[in-house]
Amino acid sequence: MTLDPKVPEGPIEQKWDKHRFNLKLVNPANKRKFEILVVGTGLAGSSAAASLAELGYNVKVFCIQDSPRRAHSIAAQGGINAAKNYPNDGDSIWRLFYDTVKGGDFRSREANVYRLAQVSNNIIDQCVAQGVPFAREYGGTLSNRSFGGAQVSRTFYARGQTGQQLLLGAYQALMRQVGRGQVQMFPRRELLELVVVDGAARGIVCRNLITGKTESYAGHAVLLCTGGYGNVFYLSTNAMASNVSATWRAHKKGAFFANPCYTQIHPTCIPVSGDYQSKLTLMSESLRNDGRVWVPKKKGDTRAPRQIPEEERDYYLERKYPSFGNLVPRDVASRNAKQMTDEGRGVGETGLSVYLDFSDAIKRLGEEKIKEKYGNLFDMYHHITSENPYQVPMRIYPAVHYTMGGLWVDYNLMTTIPGLFCLGEANFSDHGANRLGASALMQGLSDGYFVAPYTLGGYLASAKLGAVQSGHPAFREAERAVEERIKTLLAVKGKKTAVEFHRDLGRLLWDDCGMARNAKGLKEALAKIPAMREEFWKNVDVTGSGEELNMTLERAGRVADYLEFSELMVRDALHREESCGGHFREEYQTADGEAKRDDEKFSYVAAWEFKGVGQDAQLHKEPLAFENVHLAQRSYA
Amino acid sequence: MNEKKKLNLTLKIWRQKGPGDAGRFVECKAENISPDASFLEMLDVVNEGLVKRGEEAIAFDSDCREGICGMCSLVINGKPHGPELGTATCQLHMRTFQDGDTITVEPFRAKAFPPVKDLVVDRSAFDRIVAAGGFVSVNTGNPQDANSILIGHAVAEKAMDAAACIGCGACVAACPNASAMLFVAAKVSHLALLPQGQPERMRRVAQMRAQMDAEGFGNCSNEYACEAACPKEISVRAIARLNREYLKASLCSEE
Amino acid sequence: MKHSCKFLHSSIGKKFTVGAAGVLLCLFLVFHLSGNMLLFVGESQFNAFANTLDTNPLIPAAEIILAAIFFAHVVVSLWLRWQNKQARPVGYADYRAKGGRTAGSRTMTWTALLVLAFLIIHVKAFRFGGRDGGMYHLVLSSLSNPYMAGFYLLALAGLALHLSHGVQSAFQTFGLNHPKYMPAVKALGWAFALIICGGFAVIPIWALIKGGL
């Protein structure tokens, strides 16, 4: 099988327009004959489902939460990028495109990124028309702020709740279609199998989380909008229900998984305080504008921070990167924090954090000014840790935040299974090896509002799809597989809970496949994961029954998938013998400790084909050509 | 750093097999709880213990655990989302409690939020209210440039205050009458304040009100328990606006 | 007709009805109290006023309207109350909701029942009772009974409590809530309750003192 990204010919500025013209259209009267299944209701899923229903398709929408409004897009804080150039500071579609390709460390597909930049402006217009309450200037125009990785102010925001407001906009558009009867909503459903008939995705089998019943739904195409897999690390900033199962099941049915080793670690999160901890909370990286990062010079220094004199502190970012100081990019800041704690110089009860100190800024600007700038963040920190950051330095530590990897998709956002589309964070995305701040919301909405509605039409108009009902033998078979698996999970009756397995797996991945990776650690992980998986199926403890709401069972199913998926993630990290963006291999760094890419050998998308559990996945390469943005090495020293 | 004192607590928790079951309070112990844990993390620890003993875990809803998705609920010691103001259950920390405390944990109770299991209830009534009119009818396409709709800073902020609603249902749970007025008022206010919401202003409030009533929520008695329980501290002034909007729609609309 | 029915059937419409009827009843209280104050002007003036009311042919019509308003206030409130009960079939074991709940708001139903009981006695005695010695004499003789006076005072305290929530609540129901004015409205609610009920309360106290002498 060869990978065809189906990128249209021609100059990059014209590719999307030309492609839209070339895509076949579905006659308005025929649209109602198509059933589209959309799984997931984050920004990508809600926006796609609403847009498709507006066009006249019959849409069935599935989500894991009790309401589509709760998808994890809702937690995005900072903002959404667009190339509007409202502040007149020199932004353009080309600049947004350039920044995104460069920020992604040259591991994304140029044509996709250009299209993303192109539609970014429509997204803002669309959201404003829906009534999204973006921040405004006194004159009534939209406000912008700046964000990492860009020298222009192109980020639109609604306080610290931009994701919430954008999602509610899409959710409202979706609910309008539910009210019209054009969308049927199925909440509290978890996709457990993708159904492929005659080589095309024709339906899904899911578990009704309330009744425990296995349900089958047939359609002409399936859109997976199920988010990222950050929770494979156990602790991340993701929501409890975020998981890899939907994309992993699709992968097992033939969809290639691309670049699973690209994970983003955010440097400013509230550190872990104990074993009971279920998730990590992110704080805006804008804090690094005024906070100074430091650790004690001496190992195992347990004095209170204020007791440590100035000359015994190591402001390591300022020391190592004099020109960027505390404002180095996310990946650099994260890696250095890890290095300090690895050296035994971490602080706090667990030794797994570093100080972010505002005392100088408070001295310089006054407490009032700091309160005005960061008041809500300081309050949040105080609330969670019960430490007052105006008096003692904050403690921060990096946390898994976003995953750039995902199902491989072509220019039409279709996976290697015809009829199976993948949108938003779930696909391998436009962010390459590293995502810039405020770009995730942009990509989710771009895919959902402005890309999939066209490309799906193109697929439906040209594919010859016969009638398939949910009574088809392929559905029966998938249902049996689902029920069998649930029965097996309940029958083990072992001694160790799924949460414990998950925690162990997370710790292993964090240590060996986290912020910094090396061949030795990765090989060790690769040896341990299958053993862990084997133990899981022998010793997992799941109580309750399969015929009711059973969150223990749900968790166990997801952990089982992580135990398979993580092997692929580690394998991908091991094979990519270079450092790029969120993937940092210790063996491949420059003299000053920066990520060193190997464009000769690794300028490609690694798309993996499933060959069976425990079998080596087969690697397929989609070469990446950079015709418009020239390859360059990053340096921040 | 000195070791923080761990908490030992008694929980009086509502357990209910399913909608048909009558439900009852069950006492269980939460031992060795870190004061830094969140309330839901405390329940996680309790659940791990239950599963280890071969018992069924307590079902409760949660997702983002950072106070924005609105999935978590619970009435803790008689207050939705617990004793702290402007805080969702997931952001409530155990240091709020004392060692040896007995904590009562109940589900949100309302006819329009039928029980599912243990502490989980069905809040889909809120989705149906939004589907009835809580939107601006604009299809995806090429709307006018975003800056061609001017919205003053103060109006945008006011609309944002209302739009901050996370749809958790604490207002209903706290209301002595299980009324959903604050939820409906927040959405009506958000869209009535903005120019984009004007064309459907009357229709929206009429339809959302009708759906709210059809769901079986109670009536507002202006006691503002909703405002006090709201994790986003949405003001009851939104309810006054809803009343005003509805009165105006009833008087002026020709529909 | 269809439109107004829909409005009056709606949750908000019913609240509006209760509020509007309540405001009208408050206006009646003002009128009633001003008439009562004639007690302190003199016996003949008060009796003449009572006589005017008794003989004015418009008064029965006004009374029917007043009764209708009162009836609407009571029936719609009961309807709302019944619906509110329905809205939470299983109650909380522990319920400590905070917010703007006041003694007045919590006891609306109980103070309403108290006022209703009072009205039955009051209307029976003063509207349908005999007027032999003149209205002045009737007031003095019935309210100088310490039990009766005590009951009147109790009912007035209940009414004050009822109004303390009712008046400001009506403003909210009519959609009149503004951060600048709401504190004043709340104060006004209390002031109105205290002035009206205090004004009425003077009468049984006066009767007790005067009758006892």
C92, C107, C108, C162: which to substitute to probe chain B, counting the most B Cβ within 10 Å?
Answer: C92
* Amino acid A637: pLDDT: 64
CB contact under 8 A, B91 and A497: no
In chain B, which among 148-207 make CB contacts under 8 A with chain C?
A: 174-179, 181
- Tokens representing B138 are 């604009």
* CA-CA-CA-CA torsion sign (A228, A231, A232, A236): positive
Q: Does residue C209 have a pLDDT over 50?
A: yes
Alpha-carbon gap, residue B214 to B128, rounded angstroms: 10
Contacts of A280 in chain B (CB under 8 A): none
- How many C-beta atoms lie closer than 10 Å to residue A193's C-beta? 26
Number of domains within chain A: 2
The residues pairing with A430 across neighbouring beta strands, listed in sequence order, are none
Q: Does residue B2 have a pLDDT over 60?
A: no
Nearest to B151 among A71, A127, A140 (CB): A140
Nearest to A240 among B18, B65, B150 (CB): B65
Q: Do chains C and A touch (3 or more CB pairs under 8 A)?
A: no
Which CATH number is A302's domain given?
A: 3.90.700.10
Alpha-carbon gap, residue A178 to B128, rounded angstroms: 9
A107 CA: distance to closest CA in chain B (Å): 30
Token pair 């919590």 is found at C106
Does residue A373 sit in the same domain as residue A484?
A: no
- Cβ atoms of A594 and A584 within 8 Å: the answer is no
* Amino acid A546: pLDDT: 96
Domain boundaries defined on chain B: 7-117, 124-254
Q: Which subunits sit against A, judged by 3+ Cβ pairs under 8 A? A: B
Q: Does residue C213 have a pLDDT over 70?
A: no
Domain end marker among A400, A419, A447:
A400
Alpha-carbon gap, residue B16 to B23, rounded angstroms: 4
- How many C-beta atoms lie closer than 10 Å to residue A22's C-beta? 9
Domain end marker among A400, A428, A444:
A400
Nearest alpha-carbon partner for A4 in A628, A623, A456 = A623
Question: Would residue A335 count as lying in a domain?
Answer: yes
- In SS3 terms, B151-174 reads as CCHHHHHHHHHHHCCCCCCHHHHH
A530 CA: distance to closest CA in chain B (Å): 24
Amino acid at C10: S
Structural domain including A495 reads 477-598
Alpha-carbon gap, residue A396 to A357, rounded angstroms: 10
Cα A72 from chain centre: 10
- How many C-beta atoms lie closer than 10 Å to residue C74's C-beta? 16
Task: Collect contacts of A275-278 with beta carbons under 8 A, ≥24 apart.
Answer: A275/A503, A276/B33, A276/B34, A276/B37, A276/B41, A276/B42, A276/B44, A276/B45, A277/A235, A277/B37, A277/B41, A278/A235, A278/A240, A278/B38, A278/B40, A278/B41, A278/B44, A278/B65
Residue A549, helix vs strand vs coil: coil
A624 CA: distance to closest CA in chain B (Å): 31
- Orientation angle between helical segments C43-55 and C135-143, nearest 10 degrees: 110
C78, C88, C101, C181: which to substitute to probe chain B, counting the most B Cβ within 10 Å?
Answer: C88
CA angle C90, B74, A544 (to 5 degrees): 90
Does residue A488 sit in the same domain as residue A579?
A: yes
What mean pLDDT is predicted for residues B94-102? Answer: 96
Query: Quick one: closest CA in C to B23, which residue?
Result: C90
Residue B106, helix vs strand vs coil: strand
* Amino acid A377: pLDDT: 84
* Amino acid A632: pLDDT: 85
What are the distances in angstroms from CA A489 to CA A232, A348, A477? Answer: 19, 39, 19
Q: Is B124 on the interface with A (CB under 8 A)?
A: yes
Question: Would residue A196 count as lying in a domain?
Answer: no
Q: With respect to CATH, is domain B7-117 assigned 3.10.20.30?
A: yes
Does residue A513 sit in the same domain as residue A394?
A: no
Question: Would residue A396 count as lying in a domain?
Answer: yes
Q: Is the pTM of this model over 0.90?
A: yes
* Amino acid A401: pLDDT: 94
Alpha-carbon gap, residue C58 to A349, rounded angstroms: 84
- How many C-beta atoms lie closer than 10 Å to residue C198's C-beta? 12
Alpha-carbon gap, residue A309 to A288, rounded angstroms: 22
Nearest to A131 among B91, B166, B197 (CB): B197
* Amino acid A636: pLDDT: 65
Question: Would residue A413 count as lying in a domain?
Answer: no
Residue A571, helix vs strand vs coil: helix
Residues contacting residue A186 through CB under 8 Å, at least 6 positions apart: A60, A61, A62, A63, A206, A217
Nearest alpha-carbon partner for B99 in B26, B177, B3, B35 = B35
Continuous H helices in A56-199: 93-103, 110-130, 162-180
Q: Is B114 on the interface with A (CB under 8 A)?
A: no
Which one of 1.10.30.50, 1.10.1060.10, 3.30.365.10, 1.10.520.10 gives the CATH number of domain B124-254?
Answer: 1.10.1060.10
Q: Is A330 an annotated catalytic residue?
A: yes
- Tokens representing A478 are 């998938």
Question: Would residue A531 count as lying in a domain?
Answer: yes
Cα A153 from chain centre: 23
Does residue A368 sit in the same domain as residue A280?
A: yes
A397's enclosing H/E stretch is strand A394-403
- How many C-beta atoms lie closer than 10 Å to residue C58's C-beta? 8
Domain end marker among A378, A400, A422:
A400
* Amino acid B1: pLDDT: 40
Which CATH number is A516's domain given?
A: 1.20.58.100
Contacts of B78 in chain C (CB under 8 A): 92, 94-97
B225's enclosing H/E stretch is helix B225-229
**The one catalytic residue among A292, A330, A558, A576:** A330
Nearest alpha-carbon partner for A598 in A621, A570, A577 = A577
Weakly modelled stretches of chain A, pLDDT under 50: none
CA angle A484, A489, A494 (to 5 degrees): 150
Alpha-carbon gap, residue B211 to B208, rounded angstroms: 5
